[in-house]
């Protein structure tokens, strides 16, 4: 796979990362919004979202610690009147999210959702100027399923079935836009599986700022859900580098690896990029669970993996320097036998490439390790 096929995407992301670094001076994580209710006994009582930086509008929720049989804590939000509402919001600067992409994931159990349901999740970029956008889903129960309802600009309605969403367990609902642009649409994923398009809606003129909202909206009343975790994050680099810097190659510099995508295993959304490779030289990525340190015979670099090592060496995944990017199927990491990534797993990745320095040899990038949720 010629890396030139990926250069427009890589150039866009690299430019966005430079802008983000200059604007925030390394404080990108300050712009990520999280609510985490915790697990049974840790903490003993689910924290009030207000204590984690959220503002409440309308009727506050209350803790469920833990939710019986689930082993996790939750924060229950209900719309107990007509009209009425109770939701949480966090206003943030979303400019960097609109450069690098964003993902809003809600893990919840919908326990009551009448027609035109009131349970909602939303991400908006501001609601008063041209080009401001919002993406919103409302949820209702239909038998053992949950229906996710999206209203687009112009009033078009899309309804997506989330099978088993009302089975009493917790499920994840995700809005994701990995190629943000003016008037773009987002993907909707249910339990990590692409389910449909969440069309962009008009700005909500009631709200003058930007950020995520979740809870019970004021449509028809009587909606109720228990929220375990809410996270809005930028789709920028994932994981932590290790085993670096790598050995110099024929360019005089070192090659490096970065990972881009979602930390949620169920989303199966991960890209690996190797940069600083010698131009015109072939390479492929490696994967494993265990760190190592070994210089193969004839190589000028160190492999930083050990044990059962997988190779992304199918023809479509071969890269050519100076830069190359591949998608990773998290349901089939090519170890022997292939493995699916699960929440809590830590996987490590590296790139092995050819070089002429000055004779034929090989070398490696540094490594990147990712803990999946």
Judge whether residue 225 has pLDDT over 90.
Answer: yes
Tell whether 304 is covered by a domain: yes
Contact in structure between 349 and 256 (CB atoms under 8 Å): no
Tell whether 27 is covered by a domain: no
Give the pLDDT band (50/70/90) at residue 99: confident
> Starting from the edge strand earliest in sequence, which strands make up the sheet with 145-151, in order?
55-58, 86-89, 211-216, 119-124, 134-142, 145-151, 157-162
Question: Which CATH number belongs to the domain containing residue 149 in this structure?
Answer: 2.60.120.200
Tell whether 49 is covered by a domain: yes
* Same domain as 198, residue 272: no
* Same domain as 241, residue 230: no
Do the strands 157-162 and 145-151 form a parallel or antiparallel pair, or are they unpaired? Answer: antiparallel
| Residue 293 domain boundaries | 3-17+237-371
Long-range contacts of 128-131 (CB under 8 A, 24+ apart): 128/203, 128/205, 128/208, 131/182, 131/183
Give the pLDDT band (50/70/90) at residue 235: confident
What number is the average pLDDT over the span 136-143?
A: 90
* Same domain as 280, residue 190: no
Q: 268-284, pLDDT tens digit by residue?
A: 889 999 999 999 999 99
Q: Tell me, what's the pLDDT at 42?
A: 92
- Helix or strand holding residue 135 (H, E): strand 134-142
Tell whether 26 is covered by a domain: no
* Same domain as 262, residue 165: no
Per-residue buried b or exposed e for 54-64, using 16+ beta carbons within 10 Å of the residue's own CB = bebbbbebebb
Q: Tell me, what's the pLDDT at 132?
A: 65
Residue finishing a domain among 211, 234, 257: 234
What is the number of alpha carbons within 13 Å of residue 339 lying toward its C-beta? 16
Judge whether residue 19 has pLDDT over 50.
Answer: no
Cα separation of 286 and 302, whole Å?
13
Q: How many domains does the chain have?
A: 2
Residue 24 makes CB contacts below 8 A (sequence gap 6+) with: 30, 31, 96
Give the pLDDT band (50/70/90) at residue 208: low
Tell whether 259 is covered by a domain: yes
∠ CA 187-104-134, nearest 5°, is 70
What number is the average pLDDT over the span 113-129?
A: 70
Q: Tell me, what's the pLDDT at 308?
A: 97
Least confident stretch, 35-49, 179-193, 223-237: 179-193
Cα separation of 70 and 309, whole Å?
35
Q: Is residue 280 helix, strand or coil?
A: coil
Residue finishing a domain among 218, 234, 250: 234
* Same domain as 227, residue 96: yes
* Same domain as 120, residue 150: yes
Model pTM? 0.73
Alpha helices by DSSP H, listed for 34-191, are 97-100
What number is the average pLDDT over the span 132-147?
A: 88
* Same domain as 128, residue 71: yes
Judge whether residue 173 has pLDDT over 90.
Answer: yes
Q: Tell me, what's the pLDDT at 27?
A: 34
Tell whether 23 is covered by a domain: no
Give the pLDDT band (50/70/90) at residue 222: confident
CA dist list (Å): 207 to 210, 224, 266, 300: 8, 23, 32, 58
* Same domain as 97, residue 9: no
> Percent of the chain, pLDDT > 70?
83
* Same domain as 285, residue 138: no
What number is the average pLDDT over the span 85-106?
A: 84
* Same domain as 241, residue 226: no
Q: Which of 130, 125, 65, 73 is nearest to 98 (CA)?
A: 125
Tell whether 25 is covered by a domain: no
Give the pLDDT band (50/70/90) at residue 285: very high
- What's the burial of 355, exposed, middle or buried (CB within 10 Å: 0-12/13-18/19+)? buried
Residue finishing a domain among 174, 205, 234: 234
Contact in structure between 113 and 223 (CB atoms under 8 Å): yes
């Amino acid at each position: 796979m010629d890396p030139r096929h990926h250069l427009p995407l890589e150039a866009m992301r690299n430019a966005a990362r430079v802008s983000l670094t200059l604007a925030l001076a390394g404080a990108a994580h300050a712009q990520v919004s999280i609510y985490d209710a915790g697990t049974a006994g840790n903490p003993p009582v689910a924290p009030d979202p207000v204590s984690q930086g959220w503002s409440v509008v309308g009727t506050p929720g209350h803790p469920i610690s833990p939710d019986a049989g689930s082993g996790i804590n939750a924060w229950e939000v209900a719309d107990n009147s007509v009209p009425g509402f109770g939701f949480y919001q966090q206003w943030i600067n979303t400019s960097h999210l609109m450069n690098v992409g964003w993902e809003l994931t809600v893990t919840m159990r919908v326990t009551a959702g009448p027609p035109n349901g009131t349970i909602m999740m939303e991400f908006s970029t501001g609601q008063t100027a041209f080009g401001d956008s919002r993406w919103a889903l409302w949820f209702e129960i239909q038998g053992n399923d949950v229906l996710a309802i999206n209203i687009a600009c112009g009033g078009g309605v899309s309804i997506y079935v989330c099978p088993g969403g009302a089975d009493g367990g917790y499920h994840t609902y995700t809005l994701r836009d990995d190629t943000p642009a003016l008037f773009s649409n987002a993907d909707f994923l249910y339990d990590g599986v692409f389910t449909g398009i969440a069309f962009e809606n008009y700005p909500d003129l009631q709200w003058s700022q930007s950020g995520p909202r979740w809870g019970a909206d004021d449509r028809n009343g009587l909606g109720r859900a228990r929220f375990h975790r809410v996270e809005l994050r930028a789709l920028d680099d994932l994981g932590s580098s290790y085993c670096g810097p790598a050995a110099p190659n024929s360019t005089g510099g070192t090659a490096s690896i970065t990972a881009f995508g979602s930390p949620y295993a169920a989303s199966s959304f991960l890209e690996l990029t190797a940069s600083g490779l010698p131009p015109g030289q072939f390479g492929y990525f490696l994967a494993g669970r265990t760190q190592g340190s070994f210089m193969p015979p004839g190589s000028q670099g160190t492999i930083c993996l050990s044990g059962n090592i997988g190779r992304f060496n199918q023809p479509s995944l071969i890269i050519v320097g100076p830069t190359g990017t591949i998608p990773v199927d998290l349901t089939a990491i090519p170890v022997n036998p292939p493995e699916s990534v699960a929440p809590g797993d830590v996987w490590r990745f590296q790139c092995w490439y050819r070089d002429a320095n000055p004779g034929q040899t090989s070398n490696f990038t540094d490594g990147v390790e990712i803990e999946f949720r």
